[in-house]
Amino acid sequence: MEQDFAQARRLMVEHQIRARGVSNERVLAAMREVPRHLFVPEDLRSAAYGDHPLPIGEEQTISQPYIVAVMTELLSPEPGDRILEIGTGSGYQAAVLGRIVREVWSVERIASVAAQAERNLEAVGTANIHVVVGDGTLGLPEHAPYDGIIVTAAAPSVPEPLFDQVADGGRLVAPVGSRHLQDLVCYTRRGGDFVVRSWGGVAFVPLIGTYGWEG
């Protein structure tokens, strides 16, 4: 069975991710290595490597593999980086990042979701990912600045505290728009300014919090 999952991962990377233009070799390697099936409910494991998101409970989802790869590539993670993730979910995005960077801090609003993510991450043997329960729209200033910030839920605009926590030269990747459709945007810090690049349309669950949507 594990061999079947490993083959499914290789096919996922080649046909869903590389074939659509993702070319960062660190990202592709991480996507090949992380066992995505261990981050979805057991009854959905046979669908773990499909080209779609999946529900993980509490009205949350694990993103489509391609979108995980795109967001990771936009972040341009380097081995020495410290990354902040807003919205831990299943822990899969953090696990992918954790294969590339030095350290990941991840904030999850829902305690039960955070607890399951920690179990998932423990099951795959990660040691450089820290999950914190809290309001992700406030960021995690006690460990700032971050070389990259990735937001895995949709906000009407990027929460202002997150901009303050990006290191100079760092990037912030977030879906911004309505509750139902957003634009995936990458902000790169250049001193006191940000260079903005839009990737295209996406659909994420809403980011709930002080600087997000009301619950």
Residues identified as active-site:
63
φ, ψ (nearest 5 deg) of residue 26: -65, -40
Query: In 3D, which of 22, 32, 29 has the Cα closest to residue 66?
Result: 22
Cα 89 to its chain centre, rounded Å, is 9
Q: Round to whole Å and give the CA distance between 11 and 97.
A: 20
Token pair of 212 as six digits: 């997000």
Closest to 169 (Cα-Cα) out of 73, 100, 81 = 81
Count Cβ atoms within 10 A of the Cβ of residue 11 and give its class: 0-12 exposed, 13-18 middle, 19 or more buried: exposed
The amino acid that residue 8 corresponds to is: A
